[in-house]
Chain A
């Protein structure tokens, strides 16, 4: 009996000491709704790995954001909506309250849209989620930042038109949208149709049922249409299958344009040599030669504190996309501190102000060692997208090569579409639009 007591008392002491230690230090808490098991594990581990690496990098290099260290906790969602909600509910109040949350799953994003309003936690969705949430008057707490699916679709049309030699050359061309049959794949169809009317190309949308590991009939149909370009709006195993089937049907991969969720090493390597020449969109540049990635390697990985178990994935598309997640988080907190006090822990409300006033121009990106790494970004109360710029990259058989400048979408047209959709949502839910002229 006695020795069991001896064992338990120090253990309790340790637990108490541990919890006291957390409370004493000034830390900004970031909840991570990550997924490292299941069908999307490779995506989750890459992006959350990059996200964590960047936060470790800021902690180790600068001692946190103006001295406030970043703290985080991962919670496994398995890419499952109800697990995601549970993780969010568990972590939202932790460590003095969540600064912001990035769910990295469209389903979980939808499940949290109502909750973040009540809890006053800003939600950032980079390149996924609900496009019309870019209207900050209706969705004050949701930030589909950098670029949305609609901007991407717009940029794809612009990219193709440029390749063909101008908008006038698009007349009579044939475009096929090969998409994952889900909300995700359907989202851009409206934009493609709007452009079909404007530029006069023929547009066909062909659905691939989930998971998409068999596409012979769809490619049979594509063969009959003989399109000039095929847009691949795929997900997971659907992407390499599409590339391989394109090769089998004799469709040139140079004319196959992928979405950014079809543009990672994990999508092209399984398709082998068939992937050479395949082009996709991207909202950041990748590669382990980038100065920021090099610096992270030097500061974080050299000390053995890196998050990626497979170090060869450092600098891959997904890992660098995770770094962008980190940059947005850190810079929003930094911006909020400028207004509410440097070296203080920010609340979710203050971080939201930081996000709405975030201005990552070229000079700022350069200071972050990230010039050209991601597009410049300027947020506002009404515009929660902030940039909309997209680049294109081609797989040369070994690595991704950037082949275009930042392409700016037709913001006016997209904004009209966004407002039409968001005001409809506001009406359904009885939300009064926020007056942005009154925001400071």
Chain B
């Protein structure tokens, strides 16, 4: 009843080809954007304590990891190339942005971010070369090399961290057109704007020639080659675009989120976390990247807050609470259990659940 495209007639090619062809989807996206761009900052303004905590500890990292997951989803979800080097490409982005701002006087910050993304893309292409010969798990191992090589390089050559004795970099102030982004709200708005624009760009990309070529390669590369898709170009483009997204995410991770980063922050562990995001969120889905990031970034925090609240209640009522080691492990157990639960219920990820929900909604309230 509510969600139905009946009666929405397309009278022009432009209307037929728009990114969100169903009116309800457009309204939904508009509401989400208004919430994100207007309601959240307003909330943070009027409830500063909670608002700042939510922005700087939850929303900003959520957006940044969504962007990184989006990047990996381009490569793994759409082009079918398994990668374990996501964190490495993020590291390239973070360190490149730092060095551009440091060494090129007067460079605009956004230009530095784009240049950092391009650096990551170049490294991505380099480590994407083996994908022309190897596939699947073997490719994952090849990208694993990127993971170790990049971190090793950043630790080994002090030039990258401007000869800092401990090898860490401290992000410079974020100034765009003379305006300094330093409060959580400003950082959030900047991150959100970048992520929103890049997400729409992916959405657009994957329904066009490029995206279709990626999916053709993913589904069967020999067949794709037979119908005239250039494998090398397509695969390397996927690596480049994916790494570009990860690079920008890495730069934001350093500038808008942590402020000071060490190369060791970009470990294999982080790559795995981003891989889990797209597996749980939905491989080959833009929405899935966001859902997966929310699941991996936000859910442990929610569990932690919940267990703490429970413990506080126990403490005040029965003068007894669970010891620290048990509460910490409890979170992990519940979190792990939920991952398994969701993968059994819907192996294609949370995005697929949403899609099923939409299809049910189309028939509601009169299912056949």
* Chain B proximity of A218: nearest CB distance (Å): 15
B24 in the interface, Cβ–Cβ < 8 Å? no
Q: Provide the bound-state CA to CA distance between A181 and B164, in Å.
A: 15
Q: Are B312 and A82 touching (Cβ within 8 A)?
A: no
The complex places the Cα of A186 from the Cα of B315 at a distance, in Å, of: 45
A405 within 8 A of B: no
B170 contacts partner chain A, Cβ-Cβ < 8 Å = yes
With A36-B324, A183-B167, A428-B102 in contact, is A85–B155 under 8 Å at CB? no
Q: Which residues of B contact A88 (CB under 8 A)?
A: 57
0 or 1 for each of B134-145: is its CB under 8 Å from A? (1 = yes): 000000000000
Known contacts A74-B324, A107-B264; is-contact A89 B304 (Cβ 8 Å): no
Interface residues of A in 309-335 (CB under 8 A from B): 309
Interface string of B115-128 (1 = CB under 8 A from A): 00000000000000
Cross-interface CB contact of A114 among B259, B297, B304, cutoff 8 Å: B259
Enumerate A257-306 residues with CB–CB distance to B below 8 Å. Answer: none
Residues in A neighbouring B325, C-beta threshold 8 A:
36-37, 41, 45, 309
CA distance A112 to B307 in the complex (A): 25
Given A18-B317, A132-B165, residue A183 in contact with residue B263 (CB < 8 A):
yes
Contact flags (1/0) for B160-198 with A, using CB distance below 8 Å?
001011111010110000000000000000000000000
Interface flags for A36-51 (1: CB within 8 Å of B; 0: not) read 1100010001001000
CB within 8 Å for A37 and B328 given contacts A14-B316, A309-B323: yes
Pick the contact of B58: A86, A106, A429 (CB < 8 A).
Answer: A86
CA distance A345 to B162 in the complex (A): 42
Give the distance in Å from the alpha carbon of A82 to the alpha carbon of B262 in the complex. 13
Given A110-B261, A425-B170, A86 and B57 contact (CB-CB distance below 8 Å):
yes
Q: Would you give the shortest CB distance from B327 to chain A, in whole angstroms?
A: 7
User: If the complex has contacts A76-B328, A86-B58, A107-B264, are A430 and B173 also in contact, measured as CB distance less than 8 A?
Assistant: yes
- In the bound assembly, the distance between CA atoms of A429 and B102 in angstroms comes to 10
Q: Report B-chain residues with C-beta under 8 Å of the C-beta of A182.
A: 155, 167, 262-264
| Contact A429:B172 (CB < 8 A) given known A18-B316, A36-B329, A183-B166 | yes
A436 in contact (CB, < 8 A): no
Q: Which of B58, B167, B261 contacts A186 (CB 8 A)?
A: B167
Chain B residue with the shortest CB-CB distance to A93: B49
Q: Which B residues from 295 to 336 make CB contacts under 8 A with A?
A: 297, 300-301, 304-305, 308, 312-313, 315-317, 323-325, 327-329, 331-332
Partner of A107, one of B265, B300, B304, B308: B265
Binding site for B on A (CB under 8 A): 14-15, 17-18, 21, 34-37, 41, 45, 48, 73-76, 81-83, 85-86, 88-90, 93, 106-107, 110-111, 113-115, 130-132, 181-184, 186-187, 190, 209-210, 307, 309, 421, 425, 428-430
Closest 8 CB pairs of A and B: A18-B316, A89-B57, A114-B259, A110-B260, A183-B167, A86-B57, A36-B328, A76-B328
23 contacts between A and B (CB under 8 A): A18-B312, A34-B328, A36-B329, A37-B325, A37-B332, A41-B325, A74-B327, A75-B304, A76-B327, A76-B328, A82-B297, A89-B56, A106-B262, A107-B262, A107-B264, A110-B260, A132-B165, A182-B262, A183-B262, A186-B165, A187-B166, A209-B152, A210-B264
